[in-house]
Chains A and B, each alone.
Chain A
Amino acid sequence: MKHISRTMNSIGFPIVFSLVLLFMVGELTGQQSSGESKGPQKFSASSIQIEAPDPGNVPLPPEFRVAVYENLVLQIEKTGKFQHVYRSGDKDAANVPDLVTLRTTARAFTEGSQKKREVTTVMGATSLTVNVRITDHAGQSIVDRDIKGKVLMMGENIGATYDFSKKVAKIIRETF
């Protein structure tokens, strides 16, 4: 029995040791590779101007259009990435040299029903898809993406605009 246990020890220890070593090497190389491919290019700007939403060809009700805009302003201010968040038409924005501009265009809108959502839990979702385009002072595109906001379960229909603006704020954090 002693002989067997000694043999096991002599074989087992190197196997365990090499496995631990392999794991550590794997972890290190994983960290390095993730470090190399970490995130998209970061941009810097002191100020952003948010233009009024363009409803496009989508029958977006005025309250949703306004809620998209006001929630965007609130959420982008909350990111703390810019010294100033200018509203559309603000005269002070004209003198900012590194100003970036955010434009939104509605792509799709489906107005659901809060009652249906909460009674059935599978029907009545409200969703809106909006194209978000951020350009620098020279007009070069920094971000150009379609973002979807939705309310699937609890909450009022207009909550879809809040969901949308939170997603845009996340993109702002990743980009600036």
Chain B
Amino acid sequence: MMRMQNPRIDVSVATNYCRAGEPRIWVHGLFLAVVIASLMLSAVLAHGQAADAPSVAANEALQAQVQLVVGGQSIKNNSKGTLSVVDSSLQLEANGKKISVEASSILDISTDKDSRQDVTGTAHLAAQAIPYGGSRVLSLFSHEIDILTVEFRDGNNAYHGAVFAMPKGKAATFKKQLVALGAKTTVPLAGQEPDKK
């Protein structure tokens, strides 16, 4: 009798175990789906905000929220700040510091396009924890940006360069205005003659 009952108990336990495992897998899957969906949503929202920024700024004086990629002297690389054209100079304000470059001292000014990922910083690091290479999906979400490169000489004739990343469509506006103020360029805008360095 006992021999007959034991297998029944074993079977039920095994079945229960399997059934108990299913919700766990579902919970894990659901959790991952929620994490990925929230990261994607935040990426899309961030992109939306970034895309809105140029249209707001376009109504004001020539000004843009930029990221200093390299060459800010006293301002650290990768700082975010405001780039503007004030009087006859290009000004960057970031982290409470300000640098200014006279348009006439600019040797060359050029624009280019690049792309930046929507999920960056802490969120990007956190996404690395997603198993099965799930974080790679987030790398697919990116938006186009403009790159503005400025080469100039300071009062001591020393050569400097600075690279700015800014919302799409803004770099050409900066270049046009600075060239009008006396900056030189080797790659002219449409309808302009190239300058020699």
1/0 contact trace for A52-91 toward B, CB 8 Å?
1000000001110111011100100000000000111111
**B69 to A63, Cβ gap below 8 A?**
yes
* B69 contact set on A, CB distance < 8 A: 63, 67, 158
Of A62, A115, A157, which is within 8 A of B151 by CB? Answer: A62
**Is there a chain A Cβ closer than 8 Å to B112's Cβ?**
yes
**B115 to A66, Cβ gap below 8 A?**
no
**Is there a chain A Cβ closer than 8 Å to B36's Cβ?**
no
**B115 to A115, Cβ gap below 8 A?**
yes
Interface size counted on chain B using CB atoms at 8 A = 27
**Is there a chain B Cβ closer than 8 Å to A36's Cβ?**
no
Name B125-178 residues within 8 Å CB distance of A: 136, 139-140, 142, 147, 149, 151, 153, 156-163
Bound CA span A121–B135, Å? 12
Interface range for A: 20 to 34
**B112 to A62, Cβ gap below 8 A?**
yes
Bound CA span A63–B166, Å? 13
**B71 to A115, Cβ gap below 8 A?**
no
**B contacts, CB < 8 Å to A:** 69-71, 77, 108, 110, 112, 114-117, 136, 139-140, 142, 147, 149, 151, 153, 156-163
